[in-house]
């Protein structure tokens, strides 16, 4: 080997050794561990919030198997929200301080406990066979238990409640949902990212569905294209059954798609939401069959769009209440110069044809949990004005998803246009 080459190799080896030394001295910079699009720290903070709200009580959350083999399993929202555990037949238990089991939170699963512990960062994970022995030991010291409500004979915890009462007759069983609702209203960064992803998948469904809207097409055919768009975009579930209503069906708020053929000039209300990592979007657009709104539908559509924009601008984070926003939306419709006939033929102001609330919270549930007082920063809501005029067989609804920040309102669904030219182009493509 030539001396020059030998010296070069020696220098390279020396640099490598020095680099290894520096690597040992430098702190390891690894990305935060994530699960379902959220950091493990986000899940841990939620568990801490629930533990604080419940005090020194026992909390038990369980997941049931589907009642019907034809149904796809979906884990309960609160268990996923707190732990990221999604396995059917699993349970999560929060133990009070000083519990004989010597843990504060544990999951009980059917697959490898070590794998689940690594994935979730939970303090303790056991096999399902250890669930009842540990719960029984805890019940000897603690007589208050929170479970998933409603606390009825048909509720999700009915079997659990019966067994708890067999073990301890004087057990005080309470509904955990009121404790979790305030936590779930304010969305963490990971939750907002999941909602953005769900909105993106929903937009993909709209693109495919709008192209299928034409004279003679059926509502079911449009739904099929929407669902295909969801799946191709990576959404395994839809957050709720698709609503596709054309012509006289467009005035039905929650219309299930049928084989009814569409006719040129009709409006088609499409209300859909893809679900990503157990978070759902909820968006509505109204399309014209044939690619162009009739003059009457056009002015009604623009009125609905104007009301939606006015409502979004009206919100003052932390101050505006849902009651105030509903009242404001109805007043905007009432002030319109347009009129429509009611079922008796009498001409009425448009507020008479706005038959639902202006919006709701959004998250893991399409109508997510939360107090209907002031609209608080950190929440995600929908704003969905609509008009349903039976005498004209015209239904129009426009719905978007909004993040309430500390100082403003951000339209998360901005990638899906709602102006008339854009909506018409979606159908004509």
Shared-domain flag, residues 209 and 72: no
Shared-domain flag, residues 160 and 194: no
Q: In this predicted model, what pLDDT tens digit does every residue of 340-357 receive, in sequence order?
A: 999 999 999 999 999 999
Shared-domain flag, residues 265 and 394: yes
Domain that holds residue 348: 186-428
Shared-domain flag, residues 248 and 202: yes
Residue 239 inside a domain? The answer is yes
Shared-domain flag, residues 218 and 360: yes
**Which of 183, 204, 226 lies at the terminal end of a domain, its last residue?**
183
- The burial of 262, by beta-carbon neighbours within 10 Å (0-12 exposed, 13-18 middle, 19 or more buried), is given as buried
**Which of 144, 164, 183 lies at the terminal end of a domain, its last residue?**
183
Residue 18 inside a domain? The answer is no
Give the model's confidence band at 73: pLDDT under 50 very low, under 70 low, under 90 confident, else very high: confident
Which CATH number is 148's domain given?
A: 3.40.350.10
Helices of type H across 140-232: 158-167, 177-185, 189-211, 219-232
pTM of structure:
0.91
In angstroms, the CA 309 to CA 382 distance is 12
Which pLDDT value is given to residue 69? 60
Nearest Cα to Cα of residue 229 among 267, 249, 199: 199
Number of domains within the chain: 2
Q: Tell me what the mean pLDDT of segment 170-191 comes to.
A: 97
Shared-domain flag, residues 267 and 280: yes
Q: Is the pLDDT of residue 17 over 80?
A: no
Is residue 85 a contact partner of residue 107, using CB atoms and an 8 Å limit? Answer: yes
Shared-domain flag, residues 248 and 113: no
Which pLDDT value is given to residue 14? 40
Residue 4 inside a domain? The answer is no
**Which of 167, 183, 199 lies at the terminal end of a domain, its last residue?**
183
Assign 322 to helix, strand or coil.
helix
Which CATH number is 201's domain given?
A: 3.90.230.10
Residue 201 inside a domain? The answer is yes
Shared-domain flag, residues 213 and 298: yes
Q: In this predicted model, what pLDDT tens digit does every residue of 205-228 receive, in sequence order?
A: 999 999 999 999 999 999 999 999
Residue 24 inside a domain? The answer is no
Shared-domain flag, residues 262 and 317: yes
């Amino acid at each position: 080997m030539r001396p020059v080459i030998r010296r070069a190799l020696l220098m390279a080896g020396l640099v490598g050794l020095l680099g290894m030394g520096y690597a040992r001295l430098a702190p390891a910079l690894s990305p935060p561990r994530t699960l379902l699009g959220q950091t493990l720290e986000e899940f841990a903070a939620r568990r801490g919030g629930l533990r604080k709200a419940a005090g020194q009580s026992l909390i038990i959350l369980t997941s049931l198997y589907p009642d019907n083999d034809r149904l796809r399993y979906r884990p309960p929202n609160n268990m996923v929200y707190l732990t990221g555990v999604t396995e059917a037949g699993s349970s999560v238990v929060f133990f009070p301080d000083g519990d004989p089991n010597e843990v504060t939170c544990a999951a009980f699963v059917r697959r490898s406990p070590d794998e689940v512990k690594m994935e979730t960062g939970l303090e303790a994970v056991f096999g399902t066979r250890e669930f009842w022995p540990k719960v029984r030991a805890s019940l000897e010291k603690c007589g208050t238990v929170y479970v998933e409500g409603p606390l009825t004979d048909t509720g999700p915890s009915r079997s659990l409640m019966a067994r708890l009462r067999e073990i301890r007759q004087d057990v005080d069983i309470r509904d955990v949902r009121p404790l979790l609702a305030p936590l779930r209203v304010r969305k963490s960064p990971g939750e907002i990212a999941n909602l953005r992803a769900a909105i993106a998948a929903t937009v993909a469904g709209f693109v495919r569905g709008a192209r299928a809207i034409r004279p003679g097409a059926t509502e079911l055919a449009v739904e099929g294209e929407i669902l295909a768009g969801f799946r191709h975009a990576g959404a395994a579930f839809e957050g709720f059954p698709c609503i596709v209503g054309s012509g006289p069906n467009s005035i039905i708020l929650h219309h299930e798609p049928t084989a009814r053929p569409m006719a040129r000039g009709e409006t088609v209300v499409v209300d859909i939401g893809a679900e990503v990592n157990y978070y759902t979007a909820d968006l509505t657009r109204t399309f014209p069959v044939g690619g162009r709104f009739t003059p009457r539908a056009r002015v009604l559509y623009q009125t609905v769009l104007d009301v939606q924009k006015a409502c979004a601008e009206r919100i003052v984070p932390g101050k505006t209440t849902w009651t105030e926003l509903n009242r404001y939306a109805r007043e905007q419709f009432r002030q319109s110069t347009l009129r429509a006939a009611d079922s008796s033929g009498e001409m009425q102001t448009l507020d008479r044809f706005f038959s639902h609330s202006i919006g709701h919270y959004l998250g893991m549930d399409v109508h997510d949990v939360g107090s209907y007082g002031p609209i608080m920063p950190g929440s995600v809501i929908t704003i969905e004005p609509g008009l349903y005029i039976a005498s004209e067989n015209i239904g129009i609804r426009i719905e978007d998803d909004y993040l309430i920040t500390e100082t403003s309102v951000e339209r998360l669904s901005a990638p899906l246009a709602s102006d008339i030219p854009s909506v018409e182009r979606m159908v004509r493509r």
